[in-house]
A = this chain, B = another copy of it.
Amino acid sequence: MTADDTRAKVEQAYERFMKLSSAIGHCYSAKCILDWDMNTMLPESGSGARAEVVACLGGIAHEKATSPEYEQVLMELLAFVARREGSLLDPTRAAVVRKASRAFARQRKLSSAFVERRDALCADAHLVWSKAREASDWNAFLPTLEKIIAVKREEAELVGYNESPYDALLDEYEPGMTTRSVSAMLGTIVPRLADLLRRIQASSVRPVAWAQTVSIDAARQKFFNERIAARLGFDFTAGRLDASAHPFTSRMHPGDVRITTRYKEDDVLYALMSTVHEVGHGLYEQGIPHTHYGTIAGEAPSLGIHESQSRLWENIVARSRPFASFLVKESRALGFEIDPEQLYATLSSVAPSCIRTEADEVTYNLHIAIRFEIERDLIEGTLQAKDVPQVWNQKMREYLGVTPPDHAHGALQDVHWSAGLIGYFPTYTLGNLYASQLYAAVLRDVSGVQARFHEGEFGDLLAWLRTHVHEHGGLKDSAEIVRDATGSAPDAKYFLEYIERKYRELYKL
């Protein structure tokens, strides 16, 4: 073959690959829209048939993503990438192919029968868990959890691992993360956070918080939340904000990124902080270039990096004094007059509690440490599911000094295990760590960035994130993104510096 022939062959193969990838992407897009609709719009009587439609589409997508046709073109392209005399694909395309092959290899290790069995188990588990939580009845959930642990251990064996079966599960959400690396990360921050918490609790300083005194209906709050989201940079010509029981972000496909929140009439901050969190996810998705839609390059490289964006906006930006001062001005449209320092104190107050999703910045990662240790031990087989509540409560006392009043406020509180999401929790802490490290680089690179938050100007921050994080899509892995953006490998010290500086000042430690 002449060089021209080869080039044409590569070009054709890549085109075929992109066509198959788009079709897979379209199926996942469709499923994503159906899921979104199920959580925001679906009338009650439609849920039975909807579950079947969603499962059917999931099956079609998986079938396409593991088809022999797709495998063949991937292998063909991989051969071009791996040629001794140099890749025949440009570096971007070569990266896309390499990443797609890795994802494919993982998918292929799981048979359709296994995926179907696992997904059916988790689909049924949701209702079991939600009833068990309502009744605060651990034993009602136990047999289901045991089955889920068994199927996730089976998954780990099928996927393969070096040291711990839990590695295989972590890798799904944060490629490259291991049980060892998570232990090291938590081993660094947990003692420092526990110490900070003790000093806060011992402090005589108690910042004066703000209490909402009038009720504001959901429609007015929605208007307010949309306004703030738009000020942060969320593009409503390419997205929406709706209400759902549990807030989430969905990227349907390029040009359509949707976030949700939920409202309490007597607590505007409840909706607002959720909205800001989801805006962080949403800005990321809106910033990923459309070019690689359908391929792995069109997606965030990991959940940790995704979470770094939501945490950065929710915690570092929105729980800051400049943001409080911006919010005070904006709140006048809702008929409020708030003292900015009180607002800041409210958003930054520290108080150990039983519920992770309501935890403050200091205690949040302690909740994660507990979940990590328990799920690691469950997967490694050193802890039995029946003993989880006892271990949970003991660790809560040890790390946070609180005892859950019941299982609903203890080991039954999170949806994750029932959904088969084991190995997912550590990405929340990783997100906090990445966020602090990225933000330290923003402060270094963009002078006066924080001062402009007072006036509701967030464009400089967003521009930096676009350039250093969003625009790379899935072409870099998370460690590369952090290193290239900040100049150093991921390191917990930035988070510790941020949190200790902030809370020392606030509680005058």
Contacts and interface: CB of A to CB of B under 8 A. Distances in A.
Interface stretch (A128-136, A233-241, A400-408): A233-241
Given A41-B240, A45-B237, 7 more contacts: A23-B56, A26-B52, A30-B30, A43-B238, A45-B238, A49-B255, A50-B255
Most B CB within 10 A of own CB, among A30, A237, A254: A30
11 contacts: A22-B52, A27-B60, A30-B53, A33-B53, A43-B238, A43-B240, A45-B254, A46-B253, A46-B254, A50-B253, A219-B219
A29 to B, nearest CB: 5
A85 interface: no
A34 interface: yes
Contacts of A43: 236-240, 255-256
Contacts of A219: 219
A53 B29 CA distance: 7
Contacts of A48: 254-255
Interface string A223-249: 000000000000111111000000000
Interface of A: 22-23, 26-27, 29-30, 33-34, 37, 41-50, 52-53, 56-57, 60, 219, 235-240, 252-256, 290, 293
Most B CB within 10 A of own CB, among A22, A238, A256: A256
Nearest to A59: B23
A60 B31 CA distance: 14
At the interface, is chain A mostly helix, strand, loop or mixed?
Answer: helix
Contacts of A47: 255
Contacts of A255: 43-50
Copies per complex of this chain: 2
A268 B174 CA distance: 53
A30 B57 contact: yes
A48 to B, nearest CB: 6
Contact of A49 (B45, B53, B237, B293): B293
B252 A46 contact: yes
A293 B56 CA distance: 15
Contact of A30 (B34, B41, B42): B34
Contact of A45 (B23, B33, B42, B235): B235
Most B CB within 10 A of own CB, among A41, A47, A239: A41
B26 A56 contact: yes
A41 B42 CA distance: 13
A126 B44 CA distance: 31
Contacts of A27: 56-57, 60
A260 B219 CA distance: 20
A447 to B, nearest CB: 33
Contacts of A37: 33, 37
